[in-house]
Each structure stands twice: as structure tokens, then as C-alpha cells.
Amino acid sequence: MSIKLNELLPAPSNVSDDWTRTRNDPWFKEHKEHFGALVSKEPPPYGKRKGWSPRTPEDFGDGGAFPEIHMAQFPLGMGQDISRKGGTEKTLALQFDTEGKLRYDAIAKIGHHKDKMVYARLSDTKGGAIDEEDESFIRPDDDAVADTTEATRAALEKITNSKMDAALPVRHAEKTGPAQYIRYTPSQQAGNFNSGAEQRIIRMVEAQHDPMEPPKFKINQKIPRPPPSPPAPVLHSPSRKVTVKEQADWKIPPCISNWKNPKGYTIALDKRLAADGRGLQQVHINENFAKLAESLYIADRKAREAVEMRAQVERRVAQKKKEEQEEKMRALAQKARAERAGIRKTKDEDTEAKERDVIRKDRMDDRRRERNIARNKPEKLD
């Protein structure tokens, strides 16, 4: 009597089979029915295959390649190098995790570097419990810190020294590693091969680098710059209702020329002025114009006052001269009348001499004044 293990174990409370659930998905069922309903395509019969070449898997039907057609053939995709075609195969293979569940987040890692961490599960957003006894979370002791520091310092010194030596025209030869001995057993154990030896000891020695050898590779090529950082997001204010004034300000009048009208259209004057833009210009008069006008008015008034004063002085001088001339003429007339009347006193000669002296002095004064005027202000003589 045989007893099965399933009869002894209790029934599981939670049954989870991702692969069964995936196969029962309606999308897979529809595609299975669709591909199952495809009818195989038969190739042309013999004698009618001139100029025909199989290109798709349906052209081969259920058979293999056609030897009479001289071209590369891949029936059912056999022998075809997908990597050479540029990776046209985009179907992702099913992957399972350590618990045997289907990994649906594998598609999220396509296009990223293999070492990049891609978080695509809900558990990635939650904090995990930290075990205090875990060795990865224990702080290293002083000896481990000192060893790590010394190893880091040695590595950095090696990198720095190599870069410094590379810049020198002549550098010392690098120290080669120790020789390695490898036991080699050939697959052919017959006497005709390997000189009859069953095994050989191979000594591997690192080739010595010539310190005077010029560089083998060009390293001065310009490396393309990495892509720039993404632009900063532009924050816009919330939309608001446009007022009537803003709508009127946004109305741009059509461009109308004031010099050309080849079509001969009749354009209203308000439209022409609106296109001219005169109403949009604000007239601003500089205050210096008012200052200039006031200065010109004051200069004109002072000039008029100076001219009027000069004219009054000239009239006064002319009046004085006229009065003096009339007085002289009156005296001469009086003298002539007295001489005709025969009336002459004893002291007339002395009086006449005095008058002649006065006239002579006046004439000298006039000539002296004219000379002074001609010397200082010749324009007054005109």
C-alpha cells in the first residue's frame, strides 16, 4: 500500500502561481488563438520560382531552405544573428526572482545601465528593518579603518605617480610582476603530437615595457560634452479673465503706407492715423524750451531799452546843438542889425573879441569831442 505525500500534508491556505495567472490572462489567450488561426503559406511550385526569393518565415511554409535559390535563407529564423540586425527582437524574456515569482519590473530596466538602481516596486518606497547584528551595519574597528586608509592612499599615490611619470620625456622602467608557471596538458595524447610529451610546464613572464617607446594611442581626442541639465520649470500665474481695455490694447491695426497705394483703395482717415501710430505717441515738451523763450524775451527787452536810451541821448545832444546854433545865429543877426543902425559903443570891440574867443573855444571843444568819439565809438559818427 503506497501513501502519497500530498495526502499527508494539509491543503495550502494561499496558492499563488504567477505563471498560471499569466497564461490565463485574456491577452495571452487572444494572441494564442490569433497565431493559431494563421494559415501556413505554401511556396510556388517547381518551374514557377523564377525571380522569387523567400524573405519572411511564412515563405518557407513547414519546410526548410530552398537549395536551388542562391541567397541567405533563415527558415523559421534558424541561424539568423539578431544582434547583427541591430536588435530587432524586442520580446523580453521572462525573469523570476529568488522566490520564484515573475518579475514584472524587468521591463522598467530596459534602456538603463546594468548597474543603475531602478525602483519599480512598492516595497522600494518603504523603509526596511535594520538588523543590529548584521555585519554590514557594524562600524569597523580601528585596524580595519587604518588598513582601508593605507590601501586608499597607496592607490591614489600609484595613480598620481603614473600621471606624473607620463608627463616626463624619459621615465624609469616599470617593475614587472613575478613569473607564473602553468601546467599544460594537450588534448592529443598520441606520440605524433606535442613531441610525445604528455604535459608541459609553461613559464608566463610579463613583457618588459620600453621606457623610450613613444605613445601607441592618441589620447588628445575631444570628448563630447554630456547633455546639459534640464531647464528649470517655468511657473505661470493662474489664468484670469481679460478685461475690455486689455482686449483693445491687443488690437493691432493693419499696416497702411502713407506713400504707396498700388490698388487704389479708399482708406478712411481714422484707419490711416491708427496705422501711423501718432495717437500712441505721448507729446512731451522739454522745459528748456520755456527757459530759452524767456531768455530770448529778456534779451529782446534789454536790447530795446538800450536802443531807446541811445536814441534819447542822441536827440538830447542834437537839440542842444540846435539851440546853440540858433543862439549864435540870433547874436549874429542882432549884431548885423546894430551895425546897420550905426549904433556902436566903445566897448563893442571888446565884446566882439570875447565872443570870437568863446566861439573859438566851442569849436575846439567840438573838435576834441569828435576825436574822442572817433577813437572810442566810431559807429556814432554815422
| pLDDT single digits (tens) 263-307 | 888 888 888 877 776 666 677 889 999 999 999 999 999 999 999
pLDDT score, position 230 = 80
Q: Which of 62, 39, 65 is nearest to 54 (CA)?
A: 65
For residue 52, give the C-alpha cell.
522569387
pLDDT score, position 324 = 92
- Round to whole Å and give the CA distance between 27 and 33: 10
- Round to whole Å and give the CA distance between 307 and 302: 9
For residues 349-370, average pLDDT? 85
For residue 187, give the C-alpha cell.
588534448
Q: Per-residue pLDDT for 330 more than 80? A: yes
pLDDT score, position 156 = 96
Between 247 and 24, the higher pLDDT residue: 247
Q: Which of 217, 213, 183 is nearest to 200 (CA)?
A: 183
Q: What are phi and psi of 26, to 5 degrees?
A: -60, -30
Asked whether 76 and 57 are in contact (CB, 8 A), the reply is yes
- Round to whole Å and give the CA distance between 106 and 93: 9
pLDDT score, position 187 = 82
The β-bridge relationship of strands 180-184 and 200-204 is: antiparallel
Task: Give the containing element (helix H, strand E) for 79.
Answer: none
For residue 308, give the C-alpha cell.
531807446
Asked whether 67 and 43 are in contact (CB, 8 A), the reply is no
Q: Per-residue pLDDT for 347 more than 90? A: no
Which residues lie across from 204 on neighbouring strands?
180
Q: Per-residue pLDDT for 228 more than 80? A: yes
Asked whether 371 and 363 are in contact (CB, 8 A), the reply is no
Q: Per-residue pLDDT for 5 more than 90? A: no
Asked whether 328 and 366 are in contact (CB, 8 A), the reply is no
User: What type of residue sits at position 261?
Assistant: N
Q: Per-residue pLDDT for 91 more than 80? A: no
> pLDDT confidence of 33, banded at 50, 70, 90?
low
Question: 155-159, 341-345, 358-362: which has the highest mean pLDDT?
Answer: 155-159
Q: Per-residue pLDDT for 93 more than 70? A: yes
For residues 163-192, average pLDDT? 80
| pLDDT single digits (tens) 229-241 | 888 888 888 888 9
- Round to whole Å and give the CA distance between 348 and 317: 32
pTM assigned to the model: 0.23
> pLDDT confidence of 52, banded at 50, 70, 90?
confident
Q: Per-residue pLDDT for 86 more than 80? A: no
pLDDT score, position 28 = 59
pLDDT score, position 277 = 66
Q: Per-residue pLDDT for 169 more than 90? A: no
Between 306 and 25, the higher pLDDT residue: 306
Helix axes 287-341, 348-376, angle to 10 degrees: 160
For residues 324-333, average pLDDT? 91
Q: Per-residue pLDDT for 87 more than 60? A: no
Q: Per-residue pLDDT for 344 more than 60? A: no
- Round to whole Å and give the CA distance between 75 and 61: 9
Q: Which of 48, 79, 50 is nearest to 65 (CA)?
A: 79
pLDDT score, position 325 = 92
Asked whether 179 and 205 are in contact (CB, 8 A), the reply is yes
Asked whether 73 and 54 are in contact (CB, 8 A), the reply is yes
